[in-house]
Structure 1
Amino acid sequence: MVADFAFALAAGMFVMAGVFTAISFGGPGFAAGDAGAGLARLFAASLAIASICGMLIGAMLVSGAPDAGAHSTVPVLLGAVVGAFEALLILEARVELLLLPFALFLFVPLPVRRVLRSGLRR
């Protein structure tokens, strides 16, 4: 279960790093001068490094597990969606999206996904 969250958080950080890198090269509308763009790139680099570390931690936690794919595929996809929403929240401060990333993290653990799948088949 911890590996699921590690993969989800790592994917979220990776998407956020990509968004902030792209936005920092977008022009002067994003940040006040070169310092703001530089700080956005530094933040994106630190998110990318943390993402790689999170993916490695998740990979070490599921190594040898018979269902390693189940621990990585859906959490990575959910984490990418959460990362996109978090980047949107940081860039635009949309109040109506505030609880959505936290709600998506409820679907990350494998036991929750198994319950949802068995409930949908009935």
Structure 2
Amino acid sequence: MKALTIGKLAKATGATVETIRYYERAGLIASPARTEGNYRSYLPDDLHRLRFIRRTRELGFSLDEIRALLDLSGQKDRDCGSVDEIAARHLAEVDRKIADLMALRRELSGAISSCSGGTMAECRILEVFAPD
């Protein structure tokens, strides 16, 4: 595979050009070589790295977590326990968010089911959400 322009890299990964530039500024993607015309020139490794970043972002990993995973991925002979720890912490955070969303769902569902119509002055939903 030959070098890619930023537009072709964006198209191949589903990222926007601005997102790619942001990841460069954040240090997740190395600044690419430049062509004689001063265009960015990305290599196949950049494509694979950006796909990894996009997928981990879709899974909700933070930029710091992704940075740590990328750093660890370059240490081929190292035990993968550190990766497991990052993933386990992230899973615990996902579980916490699910619990929070389930509590929110119960509260909203209860407020909606308690509504019997009527006027705004009698609205149970607005009453539940009103600050004390």
Q: Above 0.5 in TM-score? A: no
Structure 2 length normalisation: TM-score?
0.30
Larger RCO (CA under 8 A, 6+ residues apart): 1
Larger Rg: 2
**Larger helix percent:** 1
TM-score (norm 1): 0.32
